Amino acid sequence: MPYIYTLLSIILIRLRPIFNSPYYFSFFHRILPMAGSPDRLMDGIDIEAFLRQHLNEENTANLKRIEYDVPTIMAICGRVKEILLSEPSLVEFGVPIVIVGDLHGQVDYGSSVGQITDGSACQIRDLLRILDRFSDGKTHGCLCMRFVFLGDYVDRGFHSLEVVMTLFALKILFPNCYGLLRGNHETRSLNRIYGFYQEMKERFQDLDTAEEVYLRINDVFDCLPPSALIGGKILCMHGGISPHLKSLDDIRAIARPVGDLTNCALLADMLWSDPAANHPNGLFCPNTTRSQSVYYGQEAVDNVIQKLGLSCIVRAHQFVSCGTAFYNDRKVISIFSANSYNADIRNHGACLYVDDKGRITIKSFFTSLFSDTISRDEDLALHEVQLNDDSWMSQAGGEKNNDDTVDPNHNSTETSA
């Protein structure tokens, strides 16, 4: 009998891409409790139990960091690296799907104003709220929906390791339903300075162990794909477009792993470039704010969208106080998902939900020390895809603004993140 369960489990694993939702796979594991798949049980590690530890808000609401076993981290990193390298540099997803921007260790308002000084604010709870927001009844949202994360998982906040381990576990269990893209902070040159390396030294008192874990996770970061294509029409990346981007095949041709971004100008631009608020009508010019990469103007955006047959570009990379910002008549959408990242502005976070018709809805949220999460949806009717004939329609006349956290007329991005 155990052999039958194992055989059925293997068959269901192979069929998982057909179902296109992690819910089915989780359901089959519940009705086949004896079936241990390579994804669920890895080197003696129960990945589902590992993930449940992170999804349990009680574990993250007690102001304590999760204590990790170093061999477990190493094994998880090894498996995720294998999965990422089996994917193309341009990963493709259907709809519906959720797009998530910068997380940055999920900085929480409490830690921003110094209420918690030991680095143990409940910052990962914001990631959990994003996942849980798409729950269906008793089924957790992480089992109901596909997600694409646009990078910058680490630095700034105090729970970078929890955020990374949660996403790695989801990627192992549901590789076809979770897209993890690379941000500019998934590089050693930044995350050694802006908090992640310091967090490793705090959590692993032995410096050799801290260095080993830090380097192992960065080895995985080197393998993250830079871009995702949703519904064949929405191009996602962390930073933006590049003068080296002539076709989607240019992205597909990026060979990973890439440790040194100077060896790939296209990749560097996709992680670092910004829309040009002060150079709106041009092509490309040097990015003087970041002292590297480029600004891209409206003409550059128009050319890329027309040449690649896109509807819009979704990117992260810049702090925006309301969670979303728009550029060039909403052809570029910037999202920032770390709510209350800035103690002075107390910004909202946001993610995008693309439904099965290609309609984009902004999901914004805000958490303070004095209230639970305040969540609002803003359906701007930005784009709608007719999936049957692969044509997209812009619905400029259908826009509305009944949510003061989102300004549809805000046509530029804000400060760097």
Which residues are designated catalytic?
Answer: 185
Phi, psi dihedrals of residue 61, rounded to the nearest 5°: -100, 0
Burial class (CB in 10 A: 0-12, 13-18, 19+), 153: buried
Phi, psi dihedrals of residue 16, rounded to the nearest 5°: -55, -40
Supply the DSSP symbol for 187.
Answer: S
Q: Hey, what's the torsion of the CAs at 287, 288, 289, 295, to 10 degrees?
A: -20
Question: Distances from the Cα of 360 to the Cαs of 96, 99, 309, in angstroms?
Answer: 10, 10, 18
Q: Which two tokens stand for residue 270?
A: 């996709």
Among the listed residues 327, 361, 321, 372, the one whose alpha carbon sits nearest the alpha carbon of residue 343:
321
Residue type, 362: I
Q: Computed over its alpha carbons, how large is the radius of gyration of the chain?
A: 20
Question: Distances from the Cα of 101 to the Cαs of 61, 137, 363, 393, in angstroms?
Answer: 23, 26, 12, 25
Among the listed residues 347, 345, 343, 344, the one whose alpha carbon sits nearest the alpha carbon of residue 323:
347
Are 326 and 410 in contact by the 8 Å Cβ rule? The answer is: yes
* Sequence-ordered list of residues with C-beta below 8 angstroms from that of 32, at least 6 positions apart, any chain: 5, 8, 9, 12
Helix 124-132 vs helix 47-55: angle between axes, to the nearest 10 degrees? 100
